Structure formats: structure tokens, C-alpha cells
Amino acid sequence: MADSADYKFMKLSLSLAEKGRGKTKPNPMVGAVLVKKGHIIGQGYHRAVGKDHAEIVALKNTQGQAKGATLYVNLEPCCHSGRTGPCTDAIIDAKISKVVLAQKDPNPLVNGKGIAQLRKAGIKVVTGVLAKEAALLNDSYYAFYKNKRPFVILKLAQTIDGRIASLNGDSKWISSPKSLRMVHKLRAEADAVVVGTGTVKADNPALTVRYVKGENPYRIIISESLKFPAKTKLLDNNRDFKTIIATTEKAMERFSKTKKGHNVIYWLLKKNRQGGISLTDFMEKARDFNLRSLLVEGGSKLATSFLKADLVDKLILITAPMILGNGINAIDELNIRRLSQSIKFHDEYCFQNGKDFVFIGYPQKRGR
């Protein structure tokens, strides 16, 4: 049974974990707190892949005085050697008497085995404290193991009347500088950013992380036409070998005769029944490429395709306080004719971000 102190210290672990946002991929965000007689004697979080796990940071913090302490950590301690040694050994060696967890680690290399090792060593283990909060914190990590495909975040920036651009295509900048920084943080968190041809033509985006610190994600253009303007940043600024073009074999044949981007990675995908690129095939390719999370940044056509295919796991909708009236709709035809068929959400919330307001929600799967 968990008590109120357990919730307090787990909440602290979660907020410590949050500090690693955008820096830990492909690892989850983890925070740890060590408590002895009601006092915090050590705390820490996982700062970046390859660096100490949160538990180890917290243990080092105590300078060997952790005997008999309770460890609070939002994820099950690992029991395998990866880039770092197993945390379970360190916890057992430090003579921790109790471990309070939010969630099991869904990674099959751990997934309960860590808990079993701790219990075998006589350590009391409590699980499920702030489990939901912990699951939402590392939503893409859990979903990757559950769905066995990359977690798809759809991000759109729109006006309050639901337009992503004016009729003349003008979309720079609907959202505020603060929201742009938020988007760059989302990019740093994602394994890849995905856009359609329309967005490449209209915005010529770099899709890099510039306004915050963080690693650039892969940049994927899903394109059936492969018709790009002469100076396309995604094709030209590609020294890091991180631009991927997802297209069809047929389009590729034509494309190869014209200008190619340097160092570009090509994915040749199947067509769907409507003759477009198969998103099912795209998702498989992305998974095989070891991408765990995709940030779909638009435009309208791509956003609509992902929603229609029931592939959006999380929506981040940035709404700027302006009205355009007629314009390019953020989301287009979904073959929905009744309110009862509309896409609903769970765990949704909204907050103000500078002048914009942001809606975040998880679309309920509709099934088909």
C-alpha cells in the first residue's frame, strides 16, 4: 500500500525525470529520489543516453549512505547491461530496503525481471504509484512497446478558426516565438520529423533543432510527386545523412533522371488502394529503421491522411489567437458525417503558451 509520502516523493521523481526531456532518446525520462526517515538523502535524473541512470545518480548523491533507504523511481530499474550496468545490482549493493515504482518497464529485456531480482534480494517493492502520470510522461516509450510501431505525434499550428494558412498559402508565422521553441523541443524529442511535399514547397523548412538544445531528428518527406523547388533545404543541407525521402518506385524512376539531394536516404514504399503511398508500409519501414517516435508536422494533406488511417497517437494543436475566415483547413475530409463519428480524445488538456494556446490529447482509436 502506498501512503501520501509515497505520492509526494514519486511526484518529485516525475518532475526530476521531466528535466531530461529531449535529451534521453531513445531512453525514457527517469527520475529517482532516495528517502531515509522521511528526509531526502539523494536525488537525480537520467540526463542523456549513455549517462548514468537516475537511480545511479541518486545513489552517488548519498555517498554510500543509502543503506535502509527507500528508493522512488518512475520506471522499473533495469536488470540488464546496456550502455551502463544493471541498476538492480547497484540498488542491492547499496542495501536499499524498499523500492517504490510508478510503472514496470515495457522493454522486454526488463519488464518485471528487475522487480523480481529486487524482491529475490529481499527488497520490498511497491508498484503503481502515480502510474498514469508516469505513463503519460513517457507516452511514446510505452506506446512503442505496446503497438510495436513508432509513436505518432501530429503537431499542427492553426488559427482559432482552424486554418493553417491563408488562401494565398501564407503560414509564416501563425504561432508565436514561444510556440516555435516548443516545436523545436518536440523535434529534439522525436526520432524523426515527417512532412509532406506541400509543406516543403510552401515553407521550405529545415526541420532542425535550433531554438533549444537537442539532437536533430531524422527528416522524412513523404512525397508521391518528388517535385521539389530548386533550393530545397531538406535536400541541400544534409551533411548529417538525416534526410529520408519516402516515395514509390515509380516516382523514384522519374526522380533519378533529375537532380537528387546529396546523402539522401530513400524508402521505396508500396501504394495503397487509392494509389497514394501506403502509410502502413511507411510505418513498417520506420519501425525497421528503428524509429520509435515520429513528429508529423503537416501539412493539411498529410495530417488528414494520418488521422484517416487512425495512426495518430497524440495530437499537439497550437492555436494562435487570430481569425482568418476562409483559408487552408488544418484538417480536411475524414469521411465523418455525424458528430457521433467524430474523433474523440482521452487525457486531453490545454494550456496557454505565450500568446497561443495549446491543446494536447490522445485520439481514441476508432477501429474500422
User: Which residues have a catalytic role annotated?
Assistant: 55
The angle at the Cα of 344, spanning 341 to 349, to the nearest 5 degrees, equals 160
C-alpha cell, 139: 507516452
Interface pick for its own copies out of 65, 176, 280, 329 (rule CB under 8 A) = 329
Among 258, 326, 367, 368, binds its own copies (CB under 8 A): 326
Whole-number minimum distance, CB 158 to its own copies, in Å? 8
Binding piece for its own copies, criterion CB under 8 A, among 45-53, 134-142, 193-201, 313-321:
313-321
Nearest distance from C-beta of residue 167 to its own copies, angstroms: 6
Angle between helical axes of 4-18 and 54-61 (0-180°, round to 10): 110
H/E stretch holding 318 reads strand 314-320
The three cell numbers of residue 244 are 529520408
The reply on whether position 302 binds its own copies by CB under 8 A is: no
Q: In the complex, what is the shortest distance from the CB of residue 178 to its own copies, in angstroms, rounded to a whole number?
A: 15
Asked if 355 is part of the footprint of its own copies (rule: CB under 8 A), the reply reads yes
Q: What is the largest CA-CA distance in the chain?
A: 72
Closer of 84 and 166 to its own copies (Cβ): 166
Distance separating alpha carbons of residues 166 and 216, to the nearest angstrom: 29
Q: Does 352 bind its own copies (CB under 8 A)?
A: yes
Q: Is 336 among the residues that bind its own copies (CB under 8 A)? A: yes
**Residue of 52, 325, 367, 368 that binds its own copies (CB under 8 A):** 325
Per-residue cell: 316: 499537439
CA–CA distance, 205 with 286 (Å, rounded to integer):
21
DSSP 3-state assignment of 16? helix
Rule CB under 8 A: is residue 327 a binding residue for its own copies? yes
Question: Can residue 310 be called a binding residue for its own copies (CB under 8 A)?
Answer: no
To the nearest whole angstrom, how small is the minimum distance from the Cβ of residue 171 to its own copies? 7
Asked if 317 is part of the footprint of its own copies (rule: CB under 8 A), the reply reads yes
Minimum separation from the CB atom of position 177 to its own copies (A): 15
* Interaction between residue 166 and its own copies (CB under 8 A): yes
- For residues 309 and 236, what is the distance between their CA atoms, to the nearest angstrom? 31
Contact at 8 Å (CB) between 92 and 64?
Answer: no
Compute CA 125 distance to the chain's CA centroid, rounded to the nearest angstrom: 29
345 binds its own copies (CB under 8 A): yes
Least spacing, CB of residue 152 vs its own copies, in Å: 15
Q: Which three cell numbers stand for residue 92?
A: 542491492
**Enclosing H/E stretch for 230:** none
Q: How many CB atoms lie within 10 A of CB 190?
A: 29
Told to check if 172 binds its own copies by CB under 8 A, we report: yes
106, 108, 111, 116 alpha-carbon torsion, rounded to 10°: -170
Cβ–Cβ < 8 Å for 151, 135: no
Amino acid identity for residue 142 in this structure: Y
Single residue of 158, 191, 214, 272 touching its own copies by CB under 8 A: 158
Least separation, in Å, of the C-beta of 349 and its own copies?
7
Which stretch in 64-72, 86-94, 247-255, 329-337 sits in contact with its own copies by CB under 8 A?
A: 329-337
Provide, rounded to whole angstroms, the least separation between the CB of residue 3 and its own copies: 30
Binder of its own copies out of 161, 224, 236, 310 (CB under 8 A): 161
Question: Is residue 136 close enough to count as binding its own copies by CB under 8 A?
Answer: no
Residue among 70, 73, 35 at smallest CA distance from 53: 73
Between CA 69 and CA 95 the distance in angstroms is 8
Residue 218 dihedral angles phi and psi, to the nearest 5°: -65, 150
Select from 230, 337, 367, 368 the one that contacts its own copies (CB under 8 A).
Answer: 337
Provide the 3-class DSSP secondary structure of residue 140. Answer: helix
Q: In the set 25, 163, 242, 292, which binds its own copies (CB under 8 A)?
A: 163
> Given candidates 331, 354, 365, 367, which one binds its own copies under the rule CB under 8 A?
331
Instruction: Catalog residues that contact its own copies under the rule CB under 8 A.
Output: 158-163, 165-168, 170-174, 304, 307-308, 317, 319, 321-327, 329-345, 348-350, 352, 355, 357, 359, 361, 363
